[in-house]
Structure 1
Amino acid sequence: MIRTGAAIAGALALASPAAAQPSMPVARATDADRLLVGLADEAAGEAIVTLRHDEASNAPTCKAGSVRGGPAIADASCALALKKLGWAAAGVDRNGKRQALPRLRIAWTKPDKAGAEPDATDDDGLTPISPERWVLPADYPGTRAQGASEFILDVAPSGRPTACHITKSAGSDILDRKTCEVLMRSGLFLPALDAQGKPRPAQFRSRLSWAIE
């Protein structure tokens, strides 16, 4: 099987995996996201947010449902969604119709300040979406090699990777190539924001550990 390690799956783990709906994307809020919306470290939980564009006020609105963790989690989830996706709620398609935005689950976990495994992740203001789905057991290449590939993903304002760079090899060209292949295919983020609150290009630095168990 494949272990993604603390860099992706551990530090950004969902507060209650059993409660997650597999069909719904899950944005794993980071420490930077807490600072962005002013959520206290001790707060944890999740909420499903729905964004819409209010024609009367010409502004995006957010509704939080299925909340675990109380009003603070609901407010923080909507605040994060509005900051990072509010611009998209005003979008229209080529026929001039308002684009529908998918519902999104936002999960908040308490920062593990004491005894945490060292984490190689630098999210640069990005919020990973469902990182546990990025790499699947079927992605393991036909090799007995094991190791950890450290990488940088260039991420566009849309939240999609545009390039992948290996910064430290797993000791196997096959594993390094597969790392970039699966991350370019499956990686997805809520965008990083510039000083004006607009989506900007960013880089996601982490590692992917390949292990046979």
Structure 2
Amino acid sequence: MNSRINILLFAIFLAPISFESLDAQVDSDPQDDSWVADGYPSVSRRSEEEGTVGVRLEVSPQGTVSKCNVIESSGFQNLDRDACKQLMKGARFKPATDDDGKAVTGYFETKVRYELD
């Protein structure tokens, strides 16, 4: 059984993860795409769990995710946890800036979709 995780952030497709722009307060262009998710949670794959997790990320002035809150559950705790784990581990952003151009904390909302083929 093949699995796919879609992290919806901006409009390009990188197999196996796709991105789609949502309302962002942070420049959503990642510095690179090397943070692509490690894979489907094995327990969730065995249990055939699928779903979409809505998250709100706090992006530090350094462009790393400093907090991740689930704002819409997939209905499966393992998927909810994994979405934040993957984004905290590897997502990198160009940080938000204030009127003086200084990097500041910003926020970004997105959805992570877990699908089994």
1:39-70 CA-to-partner distances (Å, cap 9, x unmatched) read xxxxxxxxxxxxxxxxxxxxxxxxxxxxxxxx
1:126 and 2:27 equivalent? yes
Q: Which residue of 2 aligns with 1:2?
A: 4
CA distance in 1, matches of 2:27, 2:71: 19
CA distance in 1, matches of 2:34, 2:61: 22
CA distance in 1, matches of 2:84, 2:75: 15
1:140 and 2:36 equivalent? no
Report 1:1-213 matches (<5 A): 1-4=3-6, 7-8=8-9, 11-13=10-12, 121-129=22-30, 130-131=32-33, 133-136=35-38, 139-142=39-42, 143=44, 144-213=48-117
Structure 1 residues 127 and 157, CA, compared in 2 at 3 Å: closer, same or farther?
same
- Which protein is richer in strand relative to its size? 2
Letter in 2 for 1:156: S
1:125-161 CA-to-partner distances (Å, cap 9, x unmatched) read 323313574324xx21122200000001111000011
CA distance in 2, matches of 1:187, 1:211: 20
CA distance in 1, matches of 2:53, 2:33: 16
Task: Pick 1 or 2: higher relative contact order, CA cutoff 8 A, min separation 6.
Answer: 2
CA distance in 1, matches of 2:22, 2:4: 18
Identity %: 23
1:155–1:204 Cα contact (<8 Å) kept: yes
Q: TM-score, normalised by structure 2?
A: 0.79
Local SS of the residue matching 2:116 = coil
2:5–2:40 Cα contact (<8 Å) kept: no
Q: Cα RMSD over matched residues? A: 2.3
Local SS of the residue matching 1:159 = coil
CA shift for structure 1 position 2: 1.8
- Which protein is richer in helix relative to its size? 1
Letter in 1 for 2:37: V
CA distance in 2, matches of 1:184, 1:197: 25
Which of these two proteins has the greater Rg computed from alpha carbons?
1
- Count of residues in Structure 1 that have an aligned counterpart in Structure 2: 106
1:120–1:205 Cα contact (<8 Å) kept: no
- Name segments (4+ residues, structure 1) moved above 3 Å: 130-133
1:184-213 CA-to-partner distances (Å, cap 9, x unmatched) read 001100111111111110011000000011
CA distance in 1, matches of 2:21, 2:11: 12
